[in-house]
Structure 1
Amino acid sequence: MKMWKWSKLSTALLGVALFVSACGGGDNNDPAAGKSSSTNEPGATEKAWTGEIVVWDGPRWSDDKENKYHWIENKKAEFEKLHPGVTIKIVQTPWAEMEDKLNVSIAGGAWPDLVYNVSNRMASIKNIESGIVEPIDEFYTADELADFYPNALKEYEYEGKHYGVPVSTRVHSLLLNLEIFKQKGVEPPVDGKWTYDEFLEKMKQLTGGGVHGFSTYIMPSYYEAWPFLMMDGGRPLSDDLTQYTFDSPEAISGLQKFLDLKFVHEVALPDMGMSNVGDTYQAFAAQDKRLMAVQPWNSWAIASSQKEPYAMDLMVAEYPTGDSGKSISMGDVLGWVMLKQKDEGKKQMAMEFVKFLTTTEEIFITAKNYGVFPSRISSGEQRPFEANPQMERAQQIAENAMMVPRHTNWQKIDEAIQKELQLAVNGTKTAEQALKDARSQVESLLK
């Protein structure tokens, strides 16, 4: 879940004219880019809007020709056939480049019409308050909106309106190598549920003979460890995103339990929290390593751990519950956002295309093929992962996941907190000291 990395504005703006021209975004705020949907001439009949709609999308799953844009290209062709005179221009945008290019287009005032991205980026409160993002409520009935999982739809809500259409969610869960459980004679948690005490006891039983029960990493923009910090009721920010709250007794207690896995109980690898993503996964999944039985991962790791060279007897489990009595997981939401439009006819047609892309069937297809979890309840009821019990279990976890905060300065807030967590996990600071030291850094970013 990489966050925004702002390019140097002075350099970016030098290339904005060329970039906008290349992506076709220069016409997006010009009513002359298409013909209006209606006319004021006496006796005239209303005509459907015609013109070009610019859509930015990233690569998804490949077809047999290794084309990762085949799905959106096929939907474009179908929609254009249904709406003569409408052209959908697909701007293929690698995910790693999406943020910088969006920043440039917004700074230049020549953004695309539709963007597919993570909710806390394009549908950020900053963009909404700036008037860059269009609300979508007028195009949906209450019953239609009720078909979206509440935690997914909430990510696009601000002051009673919705500023995007969720398509899918990603979530963190615990992955268990059942081969190690069997070798150690340890029973996995029933239905993938356990308390922290039960989790700790099993980690102790799994540790020994060159194997540890658990490990993970601490890095900016990665949240595999955070559900442990929140298991006792701690939260990074207040509900209204105006106050830092991660130094509460509940948060300190959660971090202490996490640190105890390494420093007190010694059930975690000695380098827990200090390794990178690739090395941590290799230590868990590589056939010649498999140094721990349990690791938390985003949902991509499920598919990776089901096929060679990493295939294993895999189980998906919830994070352990703490004093709050609830298992916490973190995730994010991806969906479509419509940027500010001046032509009403074009706005209606653009949203018509969004609805065309986000039917129950299309969200089901995306979930099944792309390995993400559906945002629509009706799509989830079709069981896209019926043949994959591990993914189906993770989908259940996703339906109640907490999402990354939508604060405008979240990237910097995240970096400040993660830096202190790294100092705690390497033994430099106590749990209390680390979380309290983050306060002054975060408070300056909340103003």
Structure 2
Amino acid sequence: MSRGLVRSTVTAVLATGLATGLAAGLTACGGGGQGSGDSKELTFWMYQDRTPQAGQVMEKVRKDFEKANPGVTVKLVKIPKDDYNTKLGSAVASKSAPDAGILDQPLVSKYALDGTIKEVPAGLITEADFYKGALDTNRANGKLYGLPQDQTCVALFYNKKLVPTPPKTWDELKQTAAQVHAADAGVAGMNVPKGDGYGAWMFPGIVHGAGGQMVDDAGKKVLFDQPPAVEALQLWVDLLKSSPRKITDSDKPFENGLAAMTISGPWDVPTIRADFPDLDFGVAPLPYKTEAAGNIGGEDSVVFSTSKNADLAWKWLAFMNNAQNNGPVADALGGFPVHLKAQAVAGGPEQAAFLEQLKVAHARPAVPQWIQVNDEIIAPAIESALTGKVSAQQALTDAAAKTRSLLGWNS
């Protein structure tokens, strides 16, 4: 149940040459209507609006783009998020995909290697203008195949009554958790992640915090059976000593004051504020061993290979992701901006921690089967170590072997 959240956005340097490149005769893709005369229709698929305000943001950006590009009509097709991937897959299979659309981060590499989406044109953006982790979610075989649209991540939530100062390192995290539990045996120091899809999605951020990585996709090497990943899993195992599951398996242990710390994302902040108004909590970047790091979620925007309006589509994506528009568009989608100069829509005091965390976020491996690896191999391996069935090393050794077999890699 990975929360594919992790949000990204890219700023665009709109070269004037792009405008002249939109020669007359551009027509809509299979997902849109045919333009007549000098008019051009561009079809963009996206998730259904989260709120009326989100719809207003997208409508303003659409109108601004059309005003700046006379004769162009942008058709926004909004699809419920739960149905989106299925409908998009069917459209791709029938060669009726839209010109462009939203794509969940881990799907970019699959679509790129399948030839379903186009490579980003040279000069469309200045890569240094974007969060590295967000931009990297669009890479496959070293090439860029999309622009990050919004991004999100997880961070450390802490109960200020039990943890006045949030830990910054793994050692401090273990020490703080132990002190909390020693002071009250009915309170867990940490709500340790479980071995499920969500926990497996968070796990690479912990591995990067020890200076490691999950795989070397360019070299086709599985690395999560190496010391940094083993140490990361052992950290979670060690935390269970001061964070027994008999406590954390209760309903909302952090919110109810039964766990001093937990790992979660910005989506939980308003819910906690509304449902648990008496809980005095803060949010801090994830503790790390050797370097600050974290994971990432969110969506990217891509141009489909069947589009007959590719130049116009890229211009639209760049417009949505420039410094002015990226902030409100990312917020409309439920995430943070990916353009370094874009302003995040004002939030509470917790926002600073998430924005700091995103500076050191790492993209998931550019492996088409990564969702399967995450959910079916890494998640149960984590759980087997956390329940004491095998050691952290053995759990990841076995999982790495299964991953190599699935991917057809020799190392």
TM-score range, shorter chain: 0.7 to 0.9
8 Å CA contact 2:180, 2:187 repeated in 1? yes
8 Å CA contact 2:140, 2:366 repeated in 1? no
1:125-165, CA deviations, whole angstroms, 9 ceiling, x for partnerless residues?
x3223322122234525xx3321122222222345542211
Amino acid at match of 1:55: F
Give the match's secondary structure for 1:240.
coil
Report the Cα distance in structure 1 between the residues aligned to 2:361 and 2:393, rounded to whole angstroms.
Answer: 26
2:390 to 414, 418, 429: 429
1:283 aligns with 2:241: no
2:87 to 101, 109, 119: 101
1:130 aligns with 2:114: yes
Give the match's secondary structure for 2:350.
helix
1:389-436, CA deviations, whole angstroms, 9 ceiling, x for partnerless residues?
211121011111112222011122112111111111122222122111
Task: Mark the runs of 5 or more structure 2 residues left unpaired by the alignment.
Answer: 5-26
1:245 to 223, 235, 248: 223
Amino acid at match of 2:359: E
1:140 aligns with 2:119: no
1:373 to 311, 329, 336: 336
Give the aligned partner of residue 232 of structure 2: 254
Amino acid at match of 2:312: M
Give the aligned partner of residue 416 of structure 1: 377
1:446 to 400, 404, 407: 407
In the TM superposition, residue 366 of structure 1 has moved relative to its aligned partner by 3.4
Report the Cα distance in structure 1 between the residues aligned to 2:382 and 2:140, rounded to whole angstroms.
Answer: 30
Give the aligned partner of residue 220 of structure 1: 197
1:194 to 157, 168, 175: 168
Pairing 1:338-377 to 2, within 5 Å after superposition: 338-341=303-306, 343=308, 346-367=309-330, 372-377=335-340
Give the match's secondary structure for 2:189.
strand
8 Å CA contact 1:134, 1:341 repeated in 2? no
Return 298-307 or 212-221, whichever deviates more: 298-307
Give the match's secondary structure for 2:43.
strand
Report the Cα distance in structure 2 between the residues aligned to 1:427 and 1:417, rounded to whole angstroms.
Answer: 16
8 Å CA contact 2:160, 2:281 repeated in 1? yes
Return 299-308 or 102-111, whichever deviates more: 299-308
In the TM superposition, residue 205 of structure 1 has moved relative to its aligned partner by 1.4
Structure 2 vs 1, CA of residues 106 and 371 (structure 1 numbering), >3 Å: closer, same or farther? closer
In the TM superposition, residue 335 of structure 1 has moved relative to its aligned partner by 2.4
Give the match's secondary structure for 1:429.
coil
In the TM superposition, residue 53 of structure 1 has moved relative to its aligned partner by 1.8
Q: Percent identity?
A: 23
Give the aligned partner of residue 349 of structure 2: 389
RMSD of aligned C-alpha atoms? 2.9
8 Å CA contact 1:133, 1:340 repeated in 2? yes
In the TM superposition, residue 60 of structure 1 has moved relative to its aligned partner by 4.2
8 Å CA contact 2:50, 2:333 repeated in 1? yes
Higher relative contact order (Cα pairs below 8 Å, separated by 6+ residues): 2
Give the match's secondary structure for 2:310.
helix
Structure 2 vs 1, CA of residues 291 and 226 (structure 1 numbering), >3 Å: closer, same or farther? farther
Report the Cα distance in structure 2 between the residues aligned to 1:225 and 1:88, rounded to whole angstroms.
Answer: 39
Give the aligned partner of residue 15 of structure 2: none
Report the Cα distance in structure 1 between the residues aligned to 2:293 and 2:129, rounded to whole angstroms.
Answer: 23
Q: TM-score, normalised by structure 1?
A: 0.76
Give the match's secondary structure for 1:224.
helix
Report the Cα distance in structure 1 between the residues aligned to 2:259 and 2:81, rounded to whole angstroms.
Answer: 31
Report the Cα distance in structure 2 between the residues aligned to 1:410 and 1:367, rounded to whole angstroms.
Answer: 25
Amino acid at match of 2:341: S
Give the aligned partner of residue 42 of structure 1: none
Give the aligned partner of residue 136 of structure 2: 154
Give the aligned partner of residue 243 of structure 2: 268
Structure 2 vs 1, CA of residues 439 and 329 (structure 1 numbering), >3 Å: closer, same or farther? same
Amino acid at match of 1:51: K
Give the match's secondary structure for 2:174.
helix
1:55 aligns with 2:40: no
Return 235-244 or 252-261, whichever deviates more: 235-244
Paired residues, what number?
380
In the TM superposition, residue 34 of structure 1 has moved relative to its aligned partner by 3.2
Q: TM-score, normalised by structure 2?
A: 0.83
Task: Mark the runs of 5 or more structure 1 residues left unpaired by the alignment.
Answer: 4-25, 37-48, 182-186
In the TM superposition, residue 259 of structure 1 has moved relative to its aligned partner by 0.4
Structure 2 vs 1, CA of residues 354 and 84 (structure 1 numbering), >3 Å: closer, same or farther? same
8 Å CA contact 1:152, 1:166 repeated in 2? yes
Give the match's secondary structure for 2:367.
coil
Report the Cα distance in structure 2 between the residues aligned to 1:335 and 1:311, rounded to whole angstroms.
Answer: 37
Give the match's secondary structure for 2:97.
coil
In the TM superposition, residue 368 of structure 1 has moved relative to its aligned partner by 5.1
2:104 to 102, 118, 125: 118
Amino acid at match of 2:88: L
Give the match's secondary structure for 2:161.
helix
Amino acid at match of 2:47: G
Report the Cα distance in structure 2 between the residues aligned to 1:271 and 1:51, rounded to whole angstroms.
Answer: 61
Structure 2 vs 1, CA of residues 338 and 157 (structure 1 numbering), >3 Å: closer, same or farther? same
Structure 2 vs 1, CA of residues 271 and 440 (structure 1 numbering), >3 Å: closer, same or farther? farther
8 Å CA contact 1:179, 1:313 repeated in 2? yes
Give the match's secondary structure for 1:69.
helix
Report the Cα distance in structure 1 between the residues aligned to 2:226 and 2:145, rounded to whole angstroms.
Answer: 32
In the TM superposition, residue 307 of structure 1 has moved relative to its aligned partner by 3.1
Report the Cα distance in structure 2 between the residues aligned to 1:88 and 1:229, rounded to whole angstroms.
Answer: 42
Give the match's secondary structure for 1:427.
coil
